[in-house]
Amino acid sequence: MNKSFSALSISGVAILIAVVYEIYFSIPVVGFVSHWGSFGASTVTSFVLHIAVYYIVKSEFDIKLSAPFVGCVAGLISWVPIIGWLSHVVTLILYLIEFRALSGGVRMSSFSRSHVGGAVKSQQNENVRDAEIVD
């Protein structure tokens, strides 16, 4: 699809809502108390939020994100104090990476192929030019 991603698009807003949710639950004491105090409501909210983000981004851009799936797992294991906190931090980082990639940032797979390969090619071109000058 030829749509461009914007932070104000529906996908961008959905991802930013998920980021705010993960920031809130990444605060160690606040997240722990919220999970235990909601009696499972935060886990249901987590599933609904992350699945909604996945389908919104997939329908708008036809790409699949990994952060919503990690977020669903984070919601399941968020009852365990340290592991739950760590899972929310990992989900938050994944959402930020994917938001950056969608908003025109460097995609990790294309970065490693084009920039590293490009550096090798430019070095080969310089070697060829140096060899031509010597001859």
pLDDT at residue 93 tops 50: yes
* Nearest alpha-carbon partner for 101 in 55, 135, 67: 67
Domain residue limits, the chain: 10-104, 106-135
Q: How confident is the model at residue 131 (pLDDT cuts 50, 70, 90)?
A: low
Instruction: For 15-58, write each residue's pLDDT tens digit.
Output: 899 999 989 988 888 887 888 888 878 888 888 999 999 998 88
**For the segment 108-122, what is each residue's pLDDT rounded down to a tens digit?**
454 444 444 444 445
pLDDT digits (tens, 9 = 90+) for 51-92: 999 998 888 877 778 888 888 888 888 878 788 889 889 999
What is the spatial distance between Cα 65 and Cα 91, in angstroms, rounded to a whole number?
Answer: 11
pLDDT higher at 80 or 128: 80
Q: What SS3 class is residue 38? A: coil
- For the stretch 54-67, what's the b/e string if a residue is b when 16 or more beta carbons lie within 10 angstroms of its beta carbon? bebbeebbeeebeb
